Amino acid sequence: MQSKTYGYVRVSTKEQNEERQMIAMREFGVPDSAIYMDKQSGKDFERPNYKRLMRRIKTGDVLVIKSIDRLGRNYDEILEQWRTITKVKHAAIVVLDMPLLDTRQGRDLTGVLIADIVLQLLSYVAQTERENIRQRQAEGIAAAKARGVHMGRPPMKTPAGFSSAKKLYQAGEITSRQAAGQLGISSTTFLRWVRQR
């Protein structure tokens, strides 16, 4: 059976542009129909198109990725996926940005050792960068809160008529759902406001 070449492209958010990776895939010769793409974080491998790709890959096939962090950003899982693709499925991997990580050629023991060391190092760097991003986000949020910047949605203003609806509700003359309906809010919001105000 003839081997096939597949490409995998990943961007972390729907706003990010995948074009740079797509160009690299086409330049390598991967047909568009064989490129699988996820717009999702690299924290784990619970990605629909990656899973679809893994079901497709067979012995002798080649998987092309632009860089190791496009595969993922979790150190242990990158190593596990690499092992699954190369040792269990007996497919090859080509990392375009790192020629040392090209398992197509028959390699001697030294070549395999160097590739393994480079893979472990790059996987470590990918996970460390993900952790740094999370830390920078947390620090940015903390700094913004310290400056008095309100995070999230602005609080809803209490609608006119809340006080009278609250009195009727507390007197048992209307239900929370009826009161909320009169005010145009949810009953959950109404009950929260009753407790707070």
* Catalytic (active-site) positions: 12
Q: Quote the CA–CA distance of 13 and 114 in Å, as a whole number.
A: 33
pLDDT value at position 65? 95
pLDDT value at position 110? 64
Q: What is the pLDDT along the chain (197 residues), one digit of tens a residue?
A: 688 999 999 988 777 788 999 999 999 999 999 999 998 877 778 899 999 999 999 999 999 999 888 887 777 888 888 889 988 998 999 999 988 788 887 656 666 677 777 777 877 777 787 788 778 888 888 888 888 877 777 777 888 888 888 999 999 889 989 988 888 888 888 898 888 87
CATH topology of domain 5-133: Rossmann fold (3.40.50)
3-state secondary structure the chain: CCCCEEEEEEECCCCCCCHHHHHHHHHHCCCHHHEEEEECCCCCCCCHHHHHHHHHCCCCCEEEECCHHHHCCCHHHHHHHHHHHHHHCCCEEEECCCCCCECCCCCCHHHHHHHHHHHHHHHHHHHHHHHHHHHHHHHHHHHHHHCCCCCCCCCCCCCCCHHHHHHHHHCCCCCHHHHHHHHCCCHHHHHHHHHHC
Contact 18/37 with Cβ under 8 angstroms?
Answer: yes
pTM value is: 0.61
Write down the domain spans for the chain: 5-133, 162-196
